Amino acid sequence: KQEVTQIPAALSVPEGENLVLNCSFTDSAIYNLQWFRQDPGKGLTSLLLIQSSQREQTSGRLNASLDKSSGRSTLYIAASQPGDSATYLCAVSSGYGGSQGNLIFGKGTKLSVKP
């Protein structure tokens, strides 16, 4: 059964630091991996999607990498800002229940960027 783990559970950094969030998964047979952002009391916002054939994706100050063989992904945030404070969720699609769209989520990393 696919399981997704995110480390650390919480992270506090001063503004301007570069930081890395980690995600690991137990079954390397995935279709894609997605990183989401969740603000308190709000829904999820998609940040980056990496297909299984890709190694990384970039969007602005965000860079996500994928190493399927080791079951790991990292989300790199450059020059962090207070507005980056949120919970970051990692999710993988591994075809659970017969559909490629069924995502398995980690519990998230709660990021706090202090001015």
Could you list the residues that contact another protein (CB under 8 A)? 4, 31-32, 34, 36, 42-46, 49, 51, 89, 91, 93, 96-108
Q: How near is the Cβ of 43 to another protein at its closest, in Å?
A: 4
d(CA 41, CA 6): 21
Query: Could you tell me if 92 and 33 are in contact, meaning their C-beta atoms sit under 8 angstroms apart?
Result: yes
- Of 80 and 87, which has the nearer Cβ to another protein? 87
Which residue lies nearer to another protein by CB, 76 or 96?
A: 96
